[in-house]
Amino acid sequence: MSQDNAAGAERLALAEAWLAQDPDPETRAELAALVDGARAGDAAAIDELADRFDARLAFGTAGLRGEIAAGPNRMNRVLVSQAAAGLAAYLLERARPGETPSVVIGYDGRKNSAVFARDSAEIMAGAGVRAVLLPQLLPTPVLAFAVRHLDTTAGVMVTASHNPPNDNGYKVYLGGEHGGSQIVSPADAEIAAAIHHVAATTTVPDLPRGEFETASEEVADEYVRQTALVADRPASQPRVVYTAMHGVGWETAARVLAAAGFDAPAVVSAQISPDPAFPTVAFPNPEEPGAMDLSFAEARAAGAELVIANDPDADRLAIAIPDASSADGYRRLSGNEVGLLLGWRAARRAADVPGDSGPDGTLACSIVSSPGLEAVARAYDLDFEATLTGFKWISRAPNLVFGFEEALGYLVNPETVHDKDGISAAVAFLSLAASLKAEGRTIADHLDEFVERFGCFDSSQVSIRVTDLSRIGEIMARLRAEPPSSVGGIRVERIEDLADGFGALPPSDVLRIILEGGARVMVRPSGTEPKLKVYIDAVGTEGTVGERRAAASAAVAALEAGMRELTA
């Protein structure tokens, strides 16, 4: 038998074994059709089986995420059951004598979220873990809150956040000393090893199932109460449009806004209810072109002063403001712009309650987010910390009062939630808009005031998409072996390689290029997609607000052109 034939026979045997343990009739039927096609020599079916069975969906610090379909390299009930059993084994192994570990499980409105959550609860209960299922589909921040509120050992959120419609995912949090933050190394590798052991030694029908608890509505009620406290009582009522992007944010967000004293916003009715098909958006991410078109149309009709958008699991926030120069009449603020305004708000609030030695607290952001937050921290005598990307790191900054990352993630209430939270960020931003309106000012005015006080911090992002993943490694290796002396005509002052760690940062495949004039370029492989990501930041601090903006924008444009040339 040839090597190819042997590999094909082994793959078919794996597929047959998978079929025998798959409890989902939909994925079982589509896998059976692939197996039949492969046996008949269909090349497309053979390639598809290879893609599904020659690799396994990796469990990492972001948990699991992928397309719903059969096989170990997809999201499905078999993979989720193995993940639940592996996580249970991990928690039980680390429990103190006589202690019963616990987990709270949440789920959003995506396809199979509820069944994945129920499978997880039953299997973890069957393994001897106290399992608590949230009472209904809820936003990810409510699950993150529940880990701390219920004082559980761990939390699981079934969601693919803003991924394409047919994806789903499995996000893991740890309680106790971790404070309800997402997992970091080495927990990810240890959980992954436990999952692999389950997959290699047992089948899904052999996993015992037990009785789980259902949390009371009090969990969501308390989240609403505590999140409403993020806002000051409004002295004015901005006209607002809200969209849930076909996700689960609206019901909870509406309750929070009402509890905080805000009028009900106008809503994008076509997107306000959970719908796993996401019929009005090709990609349910507020950052994607066209995703907010319906919001802008509703805003024009309502004469809105602010557009608020949550992504489907409501852990991210997008903001748009009126802009006469835009064809839509509105402009979505960048994640950095929102983060800097919320960071400035947090710094002012921290300064209002100084300790014995002055203001106390830390502002934190990921290393690829705007350096403007450090300028704010310095101005208010606050600590600043730059972390690796992800709120698993940002949430762990000591004495945190605010954290953000440029990908629309904000942590405004670390006493309540140790993760990004698009609902608490929305009420904080609306509170800022209300206070400005009461003084006769707008968010656009406040952006000008930021530039006048701290400088203009402009930014851009370049994504170099590849078809061959080895190309990413080649580009990173070339930049390391032949470091540029200039980028886009701007002199390079130094290059910091984070591969072996840098300062307090753990090792990461990131290059940080520091350039003349305070500009910066960060280069790293994407953790979720086949592309290289380039983050560009520049600052203008001289002249008028307009001149500062022009200088920063010109530097960003030059750096973007230079990096495209260097990575070609």
| 293-298 average pLDDT score | 97
| 225-240 average pLDDT score | 97
What is residue 3's predicted lDDT score, i.e. its pLDDT?
Answer: 55
Task: Output 10 or 433, whichever has higher pLDDT.
Answer: 433
Nearest to 156 by CA among 64, 57, 284: 64
From the candidates 102, 161, 370, 395, give the one annotated as an active-site residue: 161
**How high is the mean pLDDT of the chain?**
95
Instruction: Classify 358 as helix, strand or coil.
Output: strand
What is residue 503's predicted lDDT score, i.e. its pLDDT?
Answer: 84
Q: Is the pLDDT at 356 greater than 70, yes or no?
A: no
Domain count, the chain: 4
Residue whose entry in the numeric block shows the structure tokens 């992007």: 245
Same structural domain, 203 and 269: no
% of the chain surpassing 90 pLDDT: 89
Strand order in the sheet with 330-332: 266-267, 240-243, 306-310, 317-322, 330-332
Span 485-505, pLDDT tens digits: 999 999 999 999 999 888 888
Catalytic annotation on 431? no
Among 201, 216, 231, the domain boundary falls at 216
| 451-467 average pLDDT score | 93
Identify the CATH number of the domain in which residue 372 sits. Answer: 3.40.120.10
Same structural domain, 536 and 499: yes
Q: Is the pLDDT at 2 greater than 60, yes or no?
A: no
Span 107-155, pLDDT tens digits: 999 999 999 999 999 999 999 999 999 999 999 999 999 999 999 999 9
Same structural domain, 332 and 471: no
What is residue 357's predicted lDDT score, i.e. its pLDDT?
Answer: 64
Same structural domain, 364 and 461: no
What is residue 117's predicted lDDT score, i.e. its pLDDT?
Answer: 98
Same structural domain, 235 and 323: yes
Same structural domain, 291 and 394: yes
Domain boundaries, position 232: 217-453
* 8 A C-beta contact, residue 139 and residue 110: no
Instruction: Say if pTM beats, i.e. exceeds, 0.85.
Output: yes
Same structural domain, 311 and 382: yes
CA distances (Å), 489 to each of 379, 524, 565, in order? Answer: 31, 22, 12
CA angle centred on 112, ends 106 and 116, rounded to 5°: 50
Span 23-67, pLDDT tens digits: 999 999 999 999 999 999 999 999 999 999 999 999 987 899 999
Instruction: Classify 185 as helix, strand or coil.
Output: coil
Cα–Cα dist 136/133, whole Å: 8
Among 422, 453, 484, the domain boundary falls at 453
Same structural domain, 503 and 533: yes
* 8 A C-beta contact, residue 150 and residue 132: yes
Among 8-12, 16-20, 92-96, 481-485, whose mean pLDDT is lowest?
Answer: 8-12
